Amino acid sequence: MKIIVIGCGSTGKSLIENLVNEGHDVALIDKDPVFLDEAANAFDVLGVCGIGTDCEVLDEAGVSHADLVISVTGSDELNMLACYIAKTLGAKNTVARIRDREYNDKSLGFVQQQLQLSMAINPELSAAYSISKILKFPSAVNVDTFTSHKFEIVEIILKEGSPLIGTMILDLRKHSTANFLICAVMRNDSVIIPDGRFVFEDGDRIAVIASPAELNKISRVLGLLHRRTKDVMILGAGRIAYYLSRMLLASGSKVTVVDKNQVRCSSFSENVQGATVICGDGANQDMLLEEGLEQTDAFVSLTGHDENNILISYFASSQGVPKVVSKVNRPEFLPIASKLGIDTVISPIQIITDEIVRYVRALQNSLGSNVEKLYKIMDGMAEALEFNVSTDFKWLNTPLKDIRFKSNILIAGIIRNQKVIVPNGEDVITSGDKVIVIAAGHRLLDLSDIIA
């Protein structure tokens, strides 16, 4: 596909890298020649210097033949206008990053319709939603939801003392009536799609898929606490904190927000009724302790500095806070966070990149089995995809045991007429099903791509 990305900040670079890796023809537009040359050379893409609202610049980038234009500059208004102009010049689809909460709270649907946007993305809102899901499972490091909450994939790290260590998957299933599937395991930086003879070891990161009700049944065995966090402390009064606080308050949680900027604190107090706002330096450990850090159920660090988030999250963990979440956008910092024992890391940039990659794959599909959802799991080393099954799928009504799948591919779930099926070898795929596939080391565009 021919794709134009406007803006080569952190989000733009992440998008370009992923889209190039997906095999697309990518062009980049940015008004800063230094940033532009750096990104264009790094990813070997066409770079055009200029503003994304300039018709001549768009024309030079090939907008009339573009399948998709994505605008992720620092200005919502520029992003919207650039997409509108690109659409009038012939671009088939447009995606704009719109972050201002005034648009997202009041008029996003209207703006999207009037500007003919194919998609509007808000990294902060998406990040807040991801964090809110994780806080429902304090023992999990990641939670992804499929098909109106019919299925959930929960990732857990097995630590010393876990009842699963030394247990074979077959034995685990024998001792539980719950309907679940261990769909992936990450061990020593590699991902395994396990069979029934797989034995768990200390430090394994496992992904479990089941309906929410079935997860409740097996939560004790998995060491998975499923309870509402009643008291949450958030560091940083930015956009993510705004959305997250509203979600938590709506669910009945107590929220305390700490920020050292007096203006942000005042604005936050006015716009988020019910949250306790503390104006102070979150790097001051004594201040955090005085404000009740040790008594909180969860601590979420959302400052604009990855280094601060990691260090303050480490301190919160050392004080016995049951659940700690840290915002880290720079991938080179992820190993540091892991070594410090910070298991749950959120990257708004990666969340939005995954969202757009999923959308791009859906645009590509021509065989009828569309990618409905796509999540990167196991620290990005595997994918969980949800497909719609059409009448064109050649292996309809064939028992799964009789289908030869590619290696490291697993059919993890089937939704049929609102019924949740954790499949075994006797189950079949029928037209109209939604199918969840786990894939490690594969790029799937269509459900047929899983067949060897």
Write the burial class of residue 209 (CB in 10 Å: 0-12 exposed, 13-18 middle, 19+ buried): buried
Q: What is the mean pLDDT of the chain?
A: 88
Q: Are 184 and 195 in contact (CB under 8 A)?
A: no
Predicted local distance difference test score (pLDDT) of residue 146: 76
* Confidence check: pLDDT of 226 > 60: no
The reply to whether 236 and 334 lie within a common domain is yes
Predicted local distance difference test score (pLDDT) of residue 332: 85
Quote the distance between the C-alpha of residue 119 and its chain's center.
17
The reply to whether 203 and 235 lie within a common domain is no
Predicted local distance difference test score (pLDDT) of residue 369: 45
For 170, residues 6+ apart whose C-beta sits below 8 A from its C-beta are 196, 197
- What's the total number of domains in the chain? 4
The reply to whether 195 and 275 lie within a common domain is no
E strands of 98-253, at which residues? 119-121, 142-146, 151-157, 181-187, 190-192, 205-210, 231-235
* Euclidean distance between CA atoms 257 and 276, whole angstroms: 6
The last residue of a domain, from among 222, 239, 271: 222
Q: Which residue from 232, 210, 205, 183 is spatially nearest to 139, judged by alpha carbons?
A: 205
The larger pLDDT score, comparing residue 161 to residue 313, is at 313
* Euclidean distance between CA atoms 407 and 429, whole angstroms: 19
Predicted local distance difference test score (pLDDT) of residue 62: 95
pTM here is 0.83
* Euclidean distance between CA atoms 187 and 72, whole angstroms: 35
The reply to whether 137 and 175 lie within a common domain is yes
Largest CA distance in the chain: 67
Q: Which residue from 115, 68, 65, 114 is spatially nearest to 93, judged by alpha carbons?
A: 68
Predicted local distance difference test score (pLDDT) of residue 263: 94
* Confidence check: pLDDT of 289 > 50: yes
Predicted local distance difference test score (pLDDT) of residue 179: 83
Q: Is residue 425 part of a domain?
A: yes
Predicted local distance difference test score (pLDDT) of residue 201: 92
Tens digit of each residue's pLDDT (9 = 90 or more) over 356-410: 888 887 777 644 446 777 788 888 888 888 888 888 888 999 999 999 999 889 9
* Euclidean distance between CA atoms 192 and 407, whole angstroms: 10
Tens digit of each residue's pLDDT (9 = 90 or more) over 153-201: 888 888 887 888 898 988 887 777 778 889 899 998 889 888 888 999 9
Predicted local distance difference test score (pLDDT) of residue 414: 92
Of 72-86, 123-137, 359-373, the range with the highest mean pLDDT is: 72-86
- Would you say the C-alpha torsion 427, 428, 433, 435 has a positive or negative sign? positive
User: Out of 69-73, 85-89, 174-178, 393-397, which region has the weakest mean confidence (pLDDT)?
Assistant: 174-178
Tens digit of each residue's pLDDT (9 = 90 or more) over 101-115: 776 666 677 777 888
* Confidence check: pLDDT of 32 > 90: yes
The reply to whether 16 and 111 lie within a common domain is yes
The reply to whether 17 and 109 lie within a common domain is yes
The reply to whether 208 and 237 lie within a common domain is no
Predicted local distance difference test score (pLDDT) of residue 277: 95
The reply to whether 307 and 380 lie within a common domain is no
The reply to whether 318 and 366 lie within a common domain is no
The reply to whether 235 and 286 lie within a common domain is yes
| Collapsed DSSP state (helix, strand, coil) of residue 380 | coil
Predicted local distance difference test score (pLDDT) of residue 199: 93
The tokens describing 275, both together, are: 């949250």
The confidence band for 94, taking pLDDT boundaries of 50, 70 and 90, is very high
Q: Is residue 353 part of a domain?
A: no
Q: Which residues constitute the domain of residue 336?
A: 231-346
Strand 181-187 relative to strand 409-416, pairing? unpaired
Domain with 45 in it: what CATH number? 3.40.50.720
Q: What percent of the chain has pLDDT over 70?
A: 96
The larger pLDDT score, comparing residue 189 to residue 44, is at 44
The last residue of a domain, from among 199, 222, 245: 222
**Mean pLDDT across 440-449:** 84
* Euclidean distance between CA atoms 447 and 389, whole angstroms: 8
Q: Is residue 18 part of a domain?
A: yes
Helix (H) or strand (E) holding 279: strand 276-279
Q: Is residue 212 part of a domain?
A: yes
Q: Is residue 351 part of a domain?
A: no
Domain with 163 in it: what CATH number? 3.30.70.1450
* Euclidean distance between CA atoms 86 and 73, whole angstroms: 15
Tens digit of each residue's pLDDT (9 = 90 or more) over 316-330: 999 999 899 999 988
The last residue of a domain, from among 121, 154, 185: 121
Q: Is residue 352 part of a domain?
A: no
The reply to whether 105 and 171 lie within a common domain is no
The reply to whether 86 and 137 lie within a common domain is no
